[in-house]
Amino acid sequence: MKNYLDPNLIKLPKSLESVTDIKDDEVDPRDAGLKDATIQKVWQSVEKLYRSRTMPGISLAVRHKGQLVINRAIGHAHGNGPKDSGIDAMPMKADTPVCLFSASKAITAMMVHKLAEEGLIHLHDPVAEYIPEFAVRGKQYITVGQVLSHKGGIPTLKQDDLDPSILWDWDACVDLLCQAWPRKDAGTAQAYHAITGGFVLGEVMRRASGQELPDILRSRVAGPLGARHMTFGIPEGERDHAALNYFIGRPEPFPLDLVVKRALGATFDRVCEVSNSPEFMDAVIPAGNIYATAEEACNFFQCLLNSGSYNGKRLFERATVVRAISEASARQFDRTLLVPLRTSEGFMLGDYPFGMYGPRTSEAFGHLGFISIFCWADPSRDISVALLTTGKPLIAPHLVPLMGFLRTINNAFPKFEEPAQRTASAAG
């Protein structure tokens, strides 16, 4: 029986310094036009989040003006979960690979956009042009672009009793989606596709390119970025160094449990359990199991902030990036998440006065991952950010420090003045 009185939180070490890792590739803040105090304030907000006892491990990478100003971690990759006992605790390092969960969608989306850039996929084409068996039960006109923007009409896997093992049976999963009945408002209404859209897009990519997804990811994204990890799942030899995921806090109460199960197909506790299984780490789940370090995720968004270039290499054409991050339609009330949300063809967009990435983030684009992972770029502040966490709390004391972190980031890197404002300031 669920114990709603159990806070289910982690233990804090006596000294935060003993579980803090700072990589030596952080630049001097002055090289990026910043003060030491600015970096300290940002990291202090991360420490406050850690002190909430909801995050066994946290890693953070931040680039400003292209410079890596923060590349740090705090806590444990595994061994300090609420229920861990008799397990050797392994410190969280800045280079610890973490499952990005739904932040994987941003990377998968750019794989689709890259194949479109190469002429292998046309985003306005119906999915059925690439997967003919998809064109049944009213789905014949659903386009690739609509799936990217969560308007594909198949937000969930329809099973009487959802068996997570279907996630590592690619053909069975694709067949289930091909035979699915879409929502009546498919093509127009936004309903977040937590897992389903990734399999549809993945199958489109496989058939259009003749390549498997790990090869597309490695050749178009991870390789050019110089990423050691950034893989679907994680190789067996790397798993001892990867972070595990932990359910934190109290179980979802009614009716919130219904919303969670509709979006994820299972409870938070069950999703964490599945995500730590060897089968999950072996699988290719385009919408939810890319592993990367915080720096690698940050570099990916820096590449997009650079209009598709990174370290002198062009990964995407400028027009490809512009299309990928442009608003697909006006803000909509998402039918799955039950919140207003701005999306592009692959990204969650920021908002004003407050959005996914904190206050005054209308220009920001990125993606969240399983409640507590935040990866984004904000052109108006010239920052790219990756906050990777291993705690998965819903009913827990994490919201205030998490909002505090987002507010601190946006205050630490204020928006550039508009030309008219600069002119007025100079005249004054």
DSSP state, residue 239: G
> Domain 16-107+216-423 class?
alpha beta
Q: At what angle do helices 399-412 and 36-51 cross, to 10 degrees?
A: 170
Quote the CA–CA distance of 59 and 49 in Å, as a whole number: 12
Q: Residue 158 half-sphere exposure, CB side, CA atoms within 13 Å?
A: 12
What is the pLDDT, as a whole number, of residue 259? 67
What is the pLDDT, as a whole number, of residue 194? 93
Structure-token pair, residue 19: 């579980």
What is the pLDDT, as a whole number, of residue 20? 98
Q: Is the dihedral of CA 110, 116, 121, 127 positive or negative?
A: positive
Q: Is 361 helix (H, G, I), strand (E, B) or coil?
A: coil
CB atoms within 10 A of CB 158: 12
Residues of the chain with pLDDT under 70: 1-6, 85-87, 159-162, 254-265, 417-428
What is the pLDDT, as a whole number, of residue 159? 67
Write out the E strands in 144-198. none
Domain boundaries, the chain: 16-107+216-423
Beta bridge mates, 70 = 62
Pairing of strands 246-248, 90-91: unpaired
pLDDT tens-digit profile of 242-286?
Answer: 999 999 988 877 666 666 666 666 788 889 999 999 999 999 999
Our CA dihedral for 269, 197, 356, 326, rounded to 10 degrees, sits at 170
pLDDT tens-digit profile of 80-114?
Answer: 998 886 567 899 999 999 999 999 999 999 999 99
The amino acid present at 75, given as its one-letter code, is G
Q: At what angle do helices 318-325 and 294-305 cross, to 10 degrees?
A: 110
Distances in Å between the alpha carbon of 81 and those of 50, 85, 213, 308, 315?
13, 9, 32, 38, 38
pLDDT tens-digit profile of 11-56?
Answer: 999 999 999 999 999 999 999 999 999 999 999 999 999 999 999 9
What is the pLDDT, as a whole number, of residue 392? 93
Measured CA angle at 100 (ends 412, 260), to 5 deg: 100
Longest dimension (CA), the chain: 69
Q: Using only C-alpha atoms, what is the Rg of the chain?
A: 21
* Burial group, residue 189, by CB count within 10 angstroms (0-12, 13-18, 19+): middle
DSSP state, residue 250: B
Q: Is 241 helix (H, G, I), strand (E, B) or coil?
A: helix
